[in-house]
Amino acid sequence: MRPAGASAGPAGASAGPAGASAGPAGASAGPAGAGARSYDHSVRLVLWRHGQTQWNVEGRFQGQSDIPLDPVGEQQAERAARLLAALQPSAIYSSDLTRAAMTASPLARLTGLTVISDKDLRERYGGLWEGLTDTEIRAQYPVEHSQWRPPEGETSVAVADRACAAMERVADTLNPGSLAVVVSHGAALRLGAARLLGLPEELWAVIGPLANCAWSVLGRRRGRWRLIEHNAGTLPEPVLSDDR
């Protein structure tokens, strides 16, 4: 879990208010739903991070520890669900961890869709770091912390490959012109998106972390992916996340 810090996006991108686009440099801003300017993308994925948990607030590395949403997180999920329902998604996929499933639930209720669970959308496994604060990780594992490499945990490459494969599977189920919401976790979404976009590993950090209950939108057209929005749904705010 990283200490609270301001949300950062790719070069030239900035997070905007609900429904506003925060895209890569040169991209036109606009909502991703019905009535938006057409970007002629065949399919779109809304990559939605779960709401706040108590471990987020305490600065603890969650990883795959199954921590539920706190009351603030539940409120965040309800608010965001009302916005995302307006996009008329055709499917909802979610990590099988409780905090992601709880986040997906209000959207499923509003849309009438069944949430499809996929364990490959889980957060990065943090090994010996899970449950520790950032201060504790720095003190106990200074070398690994400097490399952001949790002992007995997953590597960034493994998480990117796993999450990217899950996202591609979701996209392959969609009809042209449709959209799916993918509910997951900060590191899994960021690393999976970086892999989808074809970024080399040394540039993965140009995609900043997602705030609780914020989302990114990616579109695939002719086999190529494009970042349409990043960290949308809120005004810029501290990011309480395992991600860095």
Residue 242 lies inside a defined structural domain of this protein? no
Residue 152 lies inside a defined structural domain of this protein? no
Residue 114 lies inside a defined structural domain of this protein? yes
pTM for the whole thing?
0.81
Predicted pLDDT at 108: 98
Q: What is the pLDDT of residues 117-174, one digit of tens each?
A: 999 999 999 999 999 999 999 999 999 999 999 999 999 999 999 999 999 999 999 9
Q: Give yes or no for residue 14 having a pLDDT over 80.
A: no
Quote the strand ranges of the chain, DSSP E. Answer: 2-6, 43-49, 91-94, 115-117, 178-184, 215-221, 224-232, 238-241
Q: What is the CATH number of the domain that holds 74?
A: 3.40.50.1240
Predicted pLDDT at 243: 64
Q: How confident is the model at residue 37 (pLDDT cuts 50, 70, 90)?
A: very low
Predicted pLDDT at 6: 39
Predicted pLDDT at 28: 37
Q: What is the pLDDT of residues 49-107, one digit of tens each?
A: 999 999 999 999 999 999 999 999 999 999 999 999 999 999 999 999 999 999 999 99
CB hemisphere CA count around 137 (13 angstroms):
25
Residue 198 lies inside a defined structural domain of this protein? yes
Predicted pLDDT at 5: 40
Predicted pLDDT at 25: 38
Domains in the chain, number: 1
Residue 1 lies inside a defined structural domain of this protein? no
Residue 75 lies inside a defined structural domain of this protein? yes
Predicted pLDDT at 233: 86
Residue positions annotated with a catalytic role: 50, 123
Domain with 193 in it: 43-50+70-120+157-236
DSSP symbols for 78-102: HHHHHHHHTT--SEEEE-SSHHHHH
Q: What is the mean pLDDT of the chain?
A: 86
Residue 112 lies inside a defined structural domain of this protein? yes
Q: Give yes or no for residue 238 having a pLDDT over 50.
A: yes
Residue 149 lies inside a defined structural domain of this protein? no
Pairwise pLDDT comparison (45 vs 19), residue with the higher score = 45
